[in-house]
Structure 1
Amino acid sequence: MSKIIPSAYKHGFTDADILRAWDNYVWQIVEVQEPPKVIRLGYDSKARALEVGGVFDGEDWLIIHAMKARKKYLQQVPMPVRGYLL
């Protein structure tokens, strides 16, 4: 299960937009830190490419971050897939 925490709303996206991008992601990046953070790149209901960050707390995914996808993450996506995100 996914739970959205307040910090994920900083950039004004709705629950529906955040969960749509998180659940239907195109690419996933795992940042090695403790705890590991997952960044998923996906689309919201308005076809905007979002980066949505989450951490697993042992029971649920806590979605901690959501914003328009930044270049630093888009550049990590292989070219054939990247074309779908731009």
Structure 2
Amino acid sequence: MANRWLRPEVFPLFAAVGVAVGICGMQLVRNIRINPEVRVNKENRAAGVLENYAEGQKYSEHFLRKYVRNKAPEIMPSINSFFSDPGKA
């Protein structure tokens, strides 16, 4: 039975599932730890709805979003500009 699942062909599948589970786990931990709308402690839950816009802005404007904000939505910008810009050819 173990030889059926430990073939080299299934290693990429294990890697893809492992990456997906890791991303889900990372997002879960991020939401539990720093999301202003998730309250785990009983004292924080008793506070009700908070109008703390600064904390929400800090949560939503994380490093990755700030980094890609003014970037062009291209995967390989140098190759795209080479083929689309007539001046470079």
The structure with more helix, counted as a fraction of residues: 2
Relative contact order, CA 8 A, sep 6+: which one is greater? Answer: 1
TM-score, structure 2 as length reference: 0.21
The structure with more strand, counted as a fraction of residues: 1
Select the structure of larger CA radius of gyration. 2
